[in-house]
Amino acid sequence: MQNMRDIKRQIGSFKNMRQITKAMEMVAAAKLRRSQEAAESSRPYVEKLRDVIASVSGAAEDVSHPMLVSRPVKKTAYLVITSDRGLAGGFNANLLRQLVRTLNERHQSQDEYGIFIVGRKGRDFLQRRNFPIIAEVTGVPDSPEFSDIKTIASKAVEQYAEETFDELYLVYNEFINPVTQRPVEKRLLPLSDLKEGESSTGNSFYEYEPSAEEVLSVLLPRYAETLVYSALLESKASEFGARMSAMSNATDNANDLIDSLTLQYNRARQASITQELSEIVAGANALS
């Protein structure tokens, strides 16, 4: 049985740990609010850009662009968004597990796909298992800007336009609420549903110049890159939500351990006092 000094040392250690996890929970909660606001504020821009593209492409029926046309799939690309840091529960593990399962089910060999990876955790996981990584981005700040993701997003879109890949999927954690994050896979390219989609603003009419082809050649890559940036914002909000929950659980576990050890310490102290009293009584009886 542990002596009282060891138990007291453990209690102190868990109290220090509780202070750290509580502080990390509060920091994650503050960052979550900012990330959630950023993710929500990006959605109207994405929807408006989609409406404009749908209007332009719908008004000119003869317009054709490589990003709008489906072609036979010979090779697929995946743009995967993870975090740079851990201590976020199953945030990265669940996403990467789903990615590996999808790759194994969908492809016969690694020659059939390539991966663009965002985040150190995902990069390290895929490198250890020798997955084909085309490009990587690490060190994304907690409040990312479009410039932080533009290089890898542009490279993925360009390689699709050059027909290096015939499909491009986004794989990331979708933000549902502060305690729920859902790993999702969404097809980014081709954008084959734009012409069929209805505009969220009704029958909008846009005047544009020079031609529909030239307008779409600028707007479509920007729209695809914006979808990647929007997914990054969603992933960041999900990361902080997962970290807040994980640190809250860690704090609760520390409280439970402290309570258990405190009870054990009090019992050991009571037993020590009882033993001392017994020795005093025994000594007094011996003298009498």
Distance CA(288)–CA(286), nearest Å, equals 5
pLDDT tens digits for range 1-28: 568 888 889 999 999 999 999 999 999 9
Q: Could you give the number of structural domains in the chain?
A: 2
User: Is the same domain home to 142 and 121?
Assistant: yes
Distance CA(235)–CA(91), nearest Å, equals 9
CATH number at residue 147: 3.40.1380.10
Paired tokens of 236: 């960041």
User: Is the same domain home to 100 and 202?
Assistant: yes
Bridge partners (DSSP) of residue 113 are 76
pLDDT tens digits for range 236-276: 999 999 999 999 999 999 999 999 999 988 888 887 788 77
Distance CA(67)–CA(227), nearest Å, equals 14
Query: What is the extent of the structural domain holding 255?
Result: 4-25+246-277
> Which pTM was predicted?
0.84
In sequence order, the 6+-apart residues with CB closer than 8 A to the CB of 7 are 261, 264, 265, 268
Distance CA(185)–CA(175), nearest Å, equals 13
Count other Cβ atoms within 10 Å, centred on residue 32. Answer: 21
User: Is the same domain home to 231 and 135?
Assistant: yes
Distance CA(243)–CA(20), nearest Å, equals 13
